[in-house]
Chains A and B, each alone.
Chain A
């Protein structure tokens, strides 16, 4: 009898243990709407630092003015972290999700979201006020799957004070690779045992993608993966080789320095006047201006182009907002209300002023807050002009592949190989293209894309 009792206790314990363990997983699946109360919209985002504060204050304002909808902001770490979390368990996802630009294709292929276009059509939401270049990046077959939100373009930042000291015209920034190289040479100097370099840019795949587009070259075949699914990487085109040859030559000549992959390192070096020119997102202008305060003047120029490049322009970067489809209809509708509210001129102006991201709603520039911002940072207009001056075509719409994260990392490794003298630009990019192509084909195979 005693033995049977022991077994009984044992089995009860086993079951209890199981319940305990599996219990951890449930409970968070449903967002726990309370009957009759306001609808809770869970909003996952990846904004850190100043942009996070700006987003929080915007959402606080939304919550204060909307009694029927309450938004719960959840910071999910980097774009990659948040994206991987959703990939791993789509059922545990939020209502509203901020995904980076290069996650667009996977989000569509995996069918995780309700297309934004459905909501737009149903409420006859006016998109004509939106920047067309930004819309084109996110549109697939004229259909918008997500709502563009935080958007940026890369620009050239230069130290006007150092330009003057080196005998260069501070109002004539370099526009081509050759001019950057020439100015970098003039700006490079050694003072007080410390070397000042004319130029430096972080080893960041996004820059390479932007240069490629600026030079009129595709990233992948089949119209950048927009006419039909891409099957082949084109990063080893002559334009790609030219970018890395230029990049490496300046480092070899000692007029540029390699500060690694972290953009924060080049930003710090620019602020400390260790480098005179750098490439970065237009979004960091407020930060750089703070770093330069009282020390030097900052100038902004469009992204430099390859010497013989035709008229083209950079793509965009940033993120967009997605409404996930496995949530109750009421929650999705509520999330749509949040999206509409966030993209209104007043909110967009506040967003730009607080973060440096572009005002993608054209009416935002008429808001007083934005006018004040522009008066404080007049050179910001260069970034917006660059967006407007970019012609619309397959190149400038940007590549669309489901394995962009790994492709970008592959290109970054190729840049490192070149900069650190491990391979020639052509060899490094050939190897990178091969690797990206096989990743694309494997993706197409496992996702059932023909």
Chain B
């Protein structure tokens, strides 16, 4: 199929004129982008390149590359049961936290999206955890999770006559316990975003749905969720990346244990680099994590985004 070239409309500039304009626009764009580009170059792109570079070496404890190893770090990652475990644990952690956080926040946001006196108090309460840093949250939950009788959660279980739980001490319960704490922490941010999304939905649609006899569930299922889908999609992407990159709670509460049951990739990288001083293998893990998150985000945009309803 031969396509006809669009004819230049009369009065349009000459080719060289267009080029000059393009260069000028580029210069302008660079001018405005400059400061952030410099910061990105120094704090993101340079470390990224350096990470890839280091992953081909064995370093001394100060991080200077000493022995060229080629792709050996990657090969040993592939064969390493410990790394496969870290990947699995990371995915499980995402699975435990992301849907839970979004669902819990959605429920709270729908509940809080009514016009009542004093509803602001609830809205503030539900969004409070956004102001809590990971470090303080982890310290609070350390007291809650304490396996001793003085641990709050176990004390409450005892009060209602349930047996004690090992929380962070057994391999089976450690990751779910951390997920519980992470969901609690993530609800604040998710709630605020969803609340904003809900508030921007046009009231008329709900009104006409009510006139047509749609109940609360039908309204929620067929109007709220589709209209809110851009917000939900945004949270899905952001929460997934955040879950993959979680670090503080692991560092403070479990140190990756017991028996590596909470040794997510990020924590494993940290441990390998800053405790074992093996910057080469740690960099290789970082590169793999980057690829995993990249692929996953692309998949999310390719598959899930089709279901998103943009107004």
Interchain nearest-CB distance for B86 vs A (Å): 13
Nearest B residue to A259 by beta-carbon distance? B147
Interface residue B304 (Cβ < 8 Å from any Cβ of A):
no
Which residue of the partner chain, among A10, A87, A88, A268, contacts B27 with CB atoms under 8 Å?
A10
| A409, B271: Cβ atoms closer than 8 Å | yes
| A21, B38: Cβ atoms closer than 8 Å | yes
| B38, A17: Cβ atoms closer than 8 Å | yes
Which residue of the partner chain, among A21, A257, A416, A446, contacts B39 with CB atoms under 8 Å?
A21
| B148, A13: Cβ atoms closer than 8 Å | no
| A409, B275: Cβ atoms closer than 8 Å | yes
Chain A residues contacting B61 (CB-CB under 8 Å) are 87, 106, 110, 402, 443, 446-447
- Chain A interface size range: 35 or more
Interface residue B28 (Cβ < 8 Å from any Cβ of A):
yes
Binary CB contact string for chain B from 146 to 169 against chain A (1 if under 8 A, 0 otherwise)? 111110000000100000001011
* A420-B170, A442-B58 known; A13 vs B31 contact (CB < 8 Å): yes
Nearest B residue to A196 by beta-carbon distance? B149
Chain A residues contacting B258 (CB-CB under 8 Å) are 203, 260-261, 416, 420
Interface residue B23 (Cβ < 8 Å from any Cβ of A):
yes
| B274, A14: Cβ atoms closer than 8 Å | no
Q: Which of A1-9, A366-374, A387-395 is the interface stretch?
A: A1-9
A21 and B39 CA atoms in complex are apart in Å by 8
Interface residue B24 (Cβ < 8 Å from any Cβ of A):
yes
Chain B residues contacting A7 (CB-CB under 8 Å) are 27
A268 and B219 CA atoms in complex are apart in Å by 52
Interface residue A129 (Cβ < 8 Å from any Cβ of B):
no
* A265-B147, A268-B150, A269-B148 known; A412 vs B257 contact (CB < 8 Å): yes
Which residue of the partner chain, among B28, B58, B274, contacts A446 with CB atoms under 8 Å?
B58
Binary CB contact string for chain A from 405 to 435 against chain B (1 if under 8 A, 0 otherwise)? 1100100110011001010000000000000
A258 and B30 CA atoms in complex are apart in Å by 60
Nearest A residue to B62 by beta-carbon distance? A87
Question: Using a Cβ cutoff of 8 Å, how many contacts connect chains A and B?
Answer: 119
Within 8 A of A (CB), among B14-62: 23-24, 27-28, 30-31, 34-35, 38-39, 42, 58-62
Interface residue B123 (Cβ < 8 Å from any Cβ of A):
no
Interface residue A18 (Cβ < 8 Å from any Cβ of B):
yes
Interchain nearest-CB distance for B140 vs A (Å): 14
Nearest B residue to A257 by beta-carbon distance? B147
| A413, B259: Cβ atoms closer than 8 Å | yes
A7 and B23 CA atoms in complex are apart in Å by 11
Chain A residues contacting B271 (CB-CB under 8 Å) are 409
Chain B residues contacting A6 (CB-CB under 8 Å) are 24, 27-28, 31
Interchain nearest-CB distance for B145 vs A (Å): 9
Chain A residues contacting B35 (CB-CB under 8 Å) are 13, 17
Interface residue A49 (Cβ < 8 Å from any Cβ of B):
no
Chain B residues contacting A194 (CB-CB under 8 Å) are 149, 158
Interface residue A233 (Cβ < 8 Å from any Cβ of B):
no
A87 and B169 CA atoms in complex are apart in Å by 32
| B34, A420: Cβ atoms closer than 8 Å | no
A17 and B42 CA atoms in complex are apart in Å by 11
A406 and B281 CA atoms in complex are apart in Å by 14
Interface residue A170 (Cβ < 8 Å from any Cβ of B):
no
A67 and B171 CA atoms in complex are apart in Å by 56
Interface residue A272 (Cβ < 8 Å from any Cβ of B):
yes
Interchain nearest-CB distance for B134 vs A (Å): 15
Which residue of the partner chain, among B62, B149, B166, B277, contacts A403 with CB atoms under 8 Å?
B277
Binary CB contact string for chain A from 258 to 292 against chain B (1 if under 8 A, 0 otherwise)? 11111001101100101000000000000000000
A203 and B58 CA atoms in complex are apart in Å by 31
Interface residue B67 (Cβ < 8 Å from any Cβ of A):
yes
A203 and B168 CA atoms in complex are apart in Å by 13
Residues of B participating in the A interface, judged by any CB pair closer than 8 Å: 23-24, 27-28, 30-31, 34-35, 38-39, 42, 58-63, 66-67, 142, 146-150, 158, 166, 168-171, 255, 257-260, 271, 274-278
Interchain nearest-CB distance for A333 vs B (Å): 27
Interchain nearest-CB distance for A322 vs B (Å): 16
Which residue of the partner chain, among B30, B59, B148, B166, contacts A272 with CB atoms under 8 Å?
B148
Interface residue A193 (Cβ < 8 Å from any Cβ of B):
yes
Interface residue A439 (Cβ < 8 Å from any Cβ of B):
yes
Nearest A residue to B263 by beta-carbon distance? A413
Chain B residues contacting A439 (CB-CB under 8 Å) are 276
A258 and B147 CA atoms in complex are apart in Å by 9
Interchain nearest-CB distance for B223 vs A (Å): 48
Which residue of the partner chain, among B38, B146, B166, B171, contacts A14 with CB atoms under 8 Å?
B38
| A272, B67: Cβ atoms closer than 8 Å | no
| A259, B148: Cβ atoms closer than 8 Å | yes
| B58, A445: Cβ atoms closer than 8 Å | yes
A129 and B207 CA atoms in complex are apart in Å by 88
Chain B residues contacting A115 (CB-CB under 8 Å) are none
A396 and B38 CA atoms in complex are apart in Å by 55
A260 and B170 CA atoms in complex are apart in Å by 8
A265 and B149 CA atoms in complex are apart in Å by 10
Interchain nearest-CB distance for B252 vs A (Å): 10
Q: List 7 A-B contacts (CB under 8 A).
A: A88-B62, A260-B257, A261-B257, A409-B271, A420-B258, A442-B58, A446-B60
Binary CB contact string for chain A from 1 to 40 against chain B (1 if under 8 A, 0 otherwise)? 0010011011001100110010000000000000000000
A258 and B171 CA atoms in complex are apart in Å by 12
Interface residue A80 (Cβ < 8 Å from any Cβ of B):
yes
Interchain nearest-CB distance for A200 vs B (Å): 9
A443 and B61 CA atoms in complex are apart in Å by 8
Interchain nearest-CB distance for B206 vs A (Å): 49
Centre residue among B24, B158, B168, B257 by max chain A CB count within 10 A? B257
| B63, A88: Cβ atoms closer than 8 Å | yes
| A268, B146: Cβ atoms closer than 8 Å | yes
* A7-B27, A87-B61, A420-B171 known; A260 vs B259 contact (CB < 8 Å): no
Which residue of the partner chain, among A3, A257, A262, A409, contacts B24 with CB atoms under 8 Å?
A3
Chain A residues contacting B168 (CB-CB under 8 Å) are 260
| A3, B23: Cβ atoms closer than 8 Å | yes
| B260, A413: Cβ atoms closer than 8 Å | yes
Binary CB contact string for chain A from 205 to 241 against chain B (1 if under 8 A, 0 otherwise)? 0000000000000000000000000000000000000
Interface residue A90 (Cβ < 8 Å from any Cβ of B):
yes
A252 and B62 CA atoms in complex are apart in Å by 43
Which residue of the partner chain, among A17, A193, A258, A445, contacts B169 with CB atoms under 8 Å?
A258
Interface residue A307 (Cβ < 8 Å from any Cβ of B):
no
A110 and B66 CA atoms in complex are apart in Å by 14
Interface residue A57 (Cβ < 8 Å from any Cβ of B):
no
Chain A residues contacting B158 (CB-CB under 8 Å) are 193-194
Interchain nearest-CB distance for B224 vs A (Å): 43
| B169, A259: Cβ atoms closer than 8 Å | yes
A447 and B59 CA atoms in complex are apart in Å by 9
